[in-house]
Structure 1
Amino acid sequence: MRSIVMCTTCRFTPEEKMGPDGRTGGETLIAHMREALAARGLATQIETQACLWNCKQHCSAILRDDQRFSYVTGRNQPTREQADAILDWFAAHGETETGEVPFRQWPDLMRGHFIARIPPARP
């Protein structure tokens, strides 16, 4: 199973919890992710979680896969461009056997955003 887990409580900026529309950075990025998925006609599951304990590196998202490496990301901007980059990287991830995407294939907006790589759970 593959999914993207996104933090709902991440700050909008280092200085501001809420954006101009009253949503957190996490809520804003989640909305952009859902719009990007709909525009692509994808059914990727977006799960939400209040606080992923990565507050100093907001906005956070976990790119989760039970068969391949999963990844914790942070420092994602609450923008549509960032949402598209996350989805582009996640698509490349799904095309690999192990979940290891060659760096040259990473979207520019995903470089410098990875915090941890987590191996799949084995029985």
Structure 2
Amino acid sequence: MTTWITICETCKRDDWAARGMEHTDGELLAAEIETRAGAAGVKTRRVACTMGCERACNIIVQGEDETGTAKMGYSLGKFDGTAEDAAAIVEYAALHAASPTGQVPFRTWPQGVKGHFVSRHLPLPTESDT
């Protein structure tokens, strides 16, 4: 079973320029997630854009089960790019990894991801579904 966190490294919060940032908010969030993900058994990748600019910082959690069947995936956004955000994202991704379908009961969600879900991505149908 593999769960991935895809992180938009080009995300910039609205006040990015005013804060005089050297790195994007997405780069900062990616670095924080990457330092935690390995210990949680979750993989990461950075991408140049997830097209959710109005709600930066954006990530996607997706994966597959032990047979290679895709699980439910999720887009999340409106993070500040903090260490606390990263910890909650990685904790949620570890719960996703442990779930056979990718669905995680709301009562077990880390507080730091609540209110950040943007969309759910249904797995593509398989031949047996058609």
TM-score tier by shorter-chain length is 0.7 to 0.9
* Aligned residue number for residue 60 of structure 1: 58
Whichever residue aligns with residue 60 of structure 2, its letter is: I
Change (3 A) 1:94 1:44: closer
1:18·1:25 contact (CA, 8 Å) conserved in 2? Answer: no
Call closer, same or farther: CA 1:62–1:17 in 2, change over 3 Å. Answer: farther
Question: What TM-score, normalized to structure 2?
Answer: 0.83
The TM-score normalised by the length of structure 1 is 0.87
Once residues 98 and 42 of structure 1 are traced to their aligned partners in structure 2, the CA distance between those partners, rounded to angstroms, is: 18
Aligned length: 120
- Unpaired stretches in structure 2, ≥5 consecutive residues: 65-69
The answer to whether the aligner puts 1:50 opposite 2:51 as a matched pair is: no
Work out the CA distance in 1 between the residues paired with 2:3 and 2:124.
Answer: 13
For structure 1, which runs of at least 5 residues remain unmatched after alignment? none
Provide runs of 4+ in structure 1 moved above 3 Å: 17-21
RMSD: 1.8
- Contact persistence 1:5–1:47 (CA under 8 A): yes
Q: Work out whether 1:30 is the aligned partner of 2:30.
A: yes
Higher Rg of the two aligned structures? 2
- Partners of 2:29 and 2:81 within 8 A in 1: yes
